[in-house]
Chains A and B, each alone.
Chain A
Amino acid sequence: MIEFVGVTKAFDGQRVVDDLTLEVRRGELLVLLGRSGSGKSTLLRLVNRLLEPDRGELRFAGRAVREFAPEALRRRIGYVIQGVGLFPHWSVARNVGTVPRLLGWPRERIEARAAELLALLGLDPATFGGRYPHELSGGQQQRVGVARALAAGPEALLMDEPFGALDPLTRADLQAELLRLQRASGQTVVFVTHDVDEALRLATRIVLIDAGRIVQQGTPAELLARPVNEQVAQFVGGGEAGLRLLALERVAGAMRAAPAARTTPLPTPPASTMAAPRAPDAPALAPRSWPAISPDATLRDALALCVARQVDRLQVVDAQQRVLGTLHAADLFGRRR
């Protein structure tokens, strides 16, 4: 989909991108991960010709990008930036319709598309379509920013630290939203971040960049489990590589499933026993009241719950209070053998 072939870019004699070769494949969510100043944002801006390389070639959809008119290229590639960059003098709906309007779509189709995308991003079109950007929260603005970038069905989506300015809860919401959208649609995304947890959570593939070169690339699990050197281990693992590995997997994949007959509604235990941490000297819990956990929770959440509640197994319970199985703490270890 997007190829970098021996690309070099320097600013004031300083090589920000250094003879870099990389292919972004259709349908993947590729995260360019690196410290500030590692050249990852420059890479994005080379793709849609906001910058031109000093040497090497970029290809988009099989053709060299310099063969495209910059405007035509950019209308086929969505772009989301940290500052959001919504047009403050246009309504939300008009913002979302920017690229379709540039492409000359008929008006009804633009309006329908804007409404569709706002709904997709969890914003009610009737409520938000007519508002102006300054009337929205930071998280809502970035949702509109993502909707605008997706409006014309771009073949690739470039995201430059899009959630960097948001508070942690809003950021987690938007990450979950992006994950859901991308996995469902197979949208090709190139996502730039310096946040390791964000990269591990979102990526199908991570490319670790330092000083304009690729240091290592692979799936999140590969980077965590087999870092090429101590620096990578330090940057990606940061002393909690094991926990981050657990965070990559869901409870549903590690539990011991209950026989189908036993997936019956669980009598709801009293709220007090659910909430209060058990005193260390209290008698062991009866088997039927192991703490409950959702099948969608990560194994890291499960471990945290085991430690907090001083138990070695959890009951996996879905949103309808049906028992799906049990998760044994021992299964969290030795799974990779």
Chain B
Amino acid sequence: MTTSRAPSHLPHPARVANPVLALLMLLALAAATGLGFVALAPNRLLEGQPVPLWRLAGTLPAPLLVAAAACAALLLAAAFAPRGRPASAAAAASRMPAASRMPRRQVVVAAAAAALLALMLALAGDAAARLVREALTPLARVSLGAGFWVIVLALVLALADALQRLRLGAAARVAASAAALLPALGVAASGALGELSLAREYANRPDVFWQAFAAHLEIVAAALLPTLAIGWPLGAAAFHSERVARPLLAALGVVQTVPALALFGLLIAPLAALGLPGVGRLPALIALVMYSLLPVVQSTAAGLAQVPAAPVEAAAAMGMTPRQVFWQVRVALALPLLVAGLRVCTVQAIGLAVLAALIGAGGLGALVFQGLFGTAMDLVLLGVLPVVALALVADAALRLVAAGLAPIAP
């Protein structure tokens, strides 16, 4: 590798092949050298002392380190090396269209990033096992350090950037993302992470975790059903009449600006007046529905309005009844946007449902707040990570649905 690793040594910034990737890799390198890779604490409640990667390097298994270094070198090369190949290959490559050369580089970047992600997890798991074994007390905990998280963030962004540049279709994009995460999931499933504090928190009470997980899904589903049942008709009404649309969207906009906690508080009095409990599932669901209505109503009204005039007019002129025109043409053509609205409100509800735990509704938020109040940060993580994963899965799934519904070129 003759290329310098520091971009300041390059004569022209334009020679950096991929500035985004270069920046991310430099960030990851800085985090690997300057920040704690894991943190070691005497017990689960005390703050840990950061342990940087270089202090661990001597004890970690050499094959993992070599593989990680190789992946990192590959990513750096892809970021900095100019597009050309060694002389003979470059001559051949120059005859190929640029499009057929670029993707190969992105595939390499994606694969290297995915592999490095899994290797980082494996290294962290191995370090945790070693540190716990060497510690003075069996209560010692090893959690993931700031450096680890920065590296993971940089790698995930690099992966996303590479997949973006491949310009895949919606389905291929989701499949590629899933495939890229498989190695990391494999490491997690292998039990190699068992000594990490996060895993210990899970192992303490797996039944509580899964109950919270199920409760979270229940809350989201129970909020989405009434949201759609109310939101779609309201959206259609807003589309049909400007007189309905303006006050309705204004009111929902106001709700959206009320902080979630304040809304929970505001609901207590009116619910009490109705003889209903001010805490628990019911007020949480009411608040979630109120928040979720805006994206659904807005996207429904906008989706119905953006349907081109020609097919609607043709449908009426063919002799469809107004009801047939609405369902067979207008709604059918608005479906991709209706699903987009559903996607936004689902992802939002998955996140907001965390707060519902504050008024006793349960769900993954219960783990988060238990962790926060008890300063057990890994319990917080145990609650937050599945929420993030759920949101990503819901987003990807509904994007797939929307893509499947639209065989129509714009």
Contacts and interface: CB of A to CB of B under 8 A. Distances in A.
Interface of A: 48, 50, 70-75, 79, 81, 83-89, 98-99, 102, 132, 134, 148
Contact of B329 (A87, A99, A134): A87
24 contacts: A50-B313, A71-B320, A74-B318, A75-B318, A79-B314, A79-B317, A81-B310, A81-B313, A81-B314, A81-B317, A83-B309, A84-B310, A85-B310, A85-B314, A87-B311, A87-B315, A88-B311, A88-B333, A89-B333, A89-B408, A98-B315, A99-B319, A102-B319, A134-B408
A148 B311 CA distance: 12
Contact of B317 (A74, A88, A132): A74
A86 B314 CA distance: 7
B403 to A, nearest CB: 14
Contacts of A84: 310, 314
A50 B316 contact: yes
A72 B319 CA distance: 7
Contacts of A87: 311, 314-315, 328-329, 332
Interface in B302-329: 308-311, 313-321, 324, 328-329
Contact of B321 (A71, A89, A99): A71
B274 interface: no
Contacts of B332: 87, 89
Contacts of A89: 332-333, 407-408
Given A75-B319, A81-B314, 15 more contacts: A74-B316, A74-B317, A81-B310, A81-B317, A84-B310, A85-B310, A86-B311, A87-B314, A89-B332, A89-B407, A98-B315, A99-B318, A132-B408, A134-B409, A148-B318
A99 to B, nearest CB: 5
Given A81-B313, A85-B313, A88-B408, A98 B333 contact: no
Contact of B318 (A72, A79, A88, A132): A79
Nearest to B328: A87
A102 B316 CA distance: 12
Contacts of B319: 70-75, 99, 102
B223 to A, nearest CB: 30
Q: Which 10 A-B pairs have the closest CB atoms?
A: A85-B314, A74-B319, A83-B310, A75-B319, A85-B310, A134-B409, A79-B317, A88-B408, A71-B319, A85-B311
A99 B315 CA distance: 9
Interface of B: 308-311, 313-321, 324, 328-329, 332-333, 407-409
Contacts of A83: 308-310
A98 B324 CA distance: 11
A88 to B, nearest CB: 4
Nearest to A70: B319
A86 B319 CA distance: 14
A98 B408 contact: no
Nearest to A148: B318
B154 to A, nearest CB: 40
Given A83-B310, A85-B310, A132 B316 contact: no
Contacts of B321: 71
A148 B317 CA distance: 12
A98 B315 CA distance: 9
A96 B61 CA distance: 68
B303 to A, nearest CB: 13
A70 to B, nearest CB: 8
B316 to A, nearest CB: 7
B242 to A, nearest CB: 20
A299 to B, nearest CB: 39
A84 B318 CA distance: 12
A121 B131 CA distance: 79
Contacts of B309: 83
Contacts of B318: 74-75, 79, 98-99, 102, 148
B404 to A, nearest CB: 12
Contacts of A148: 318
A190 to B, nearest CB: 13
B406 to A, nearest CB: 8
A102 B324 contact: yes
A70 B407 CA distance: 32
A73 B318 CA distance: 9
Contacts of A74: 316-319
Contacts of A98: 315, 318, 320
Contacts of A99: 318-319
Contacts of A75: 318-319
Nearest to A74: B319
A87 B319 CA distance: 14
Nearest to A132: B407
A178 to B, nearest CB: 18
Contacts of A88: 311, 333, 408
A148 B318 CA distance: 9
Task: With a 10 A CB-CB cut-off, give which of B308, B310, B324, B408 has the most chain A CB atoms.
Answer: B310
A102 B311 contact: no
Nearest to A103: B319
B207 to A, nearest CB: 47
A140 to B, nearest CB: 15
Contacts of B308: 83
Nearest to B333: A89
A48 B407 CA distance: 32
Contacts of B315: 85, 87, 98
A102 B315 CA distance: 11
B320 A102 contact: yes
Nearest to B307: A88
Contacts of A73: 319
A48 B310 CA distance: 16
A102 B329 CA distance: 14
Nearest to A48: B317
A134 B409 CA distance: 6
A73 B321 CA distance: 12
Contacts of A70: 319
Contacts of A134: 408-409
Nearest to A75: B319
A88 B324 CA distance: 16
Contacts of A85: 310-311, 313-315, 317
Contacts of B314: 79, 81, 84-87
Contacts of B408: 88-89, 132, 134
B169 to A, nearest CB: 16
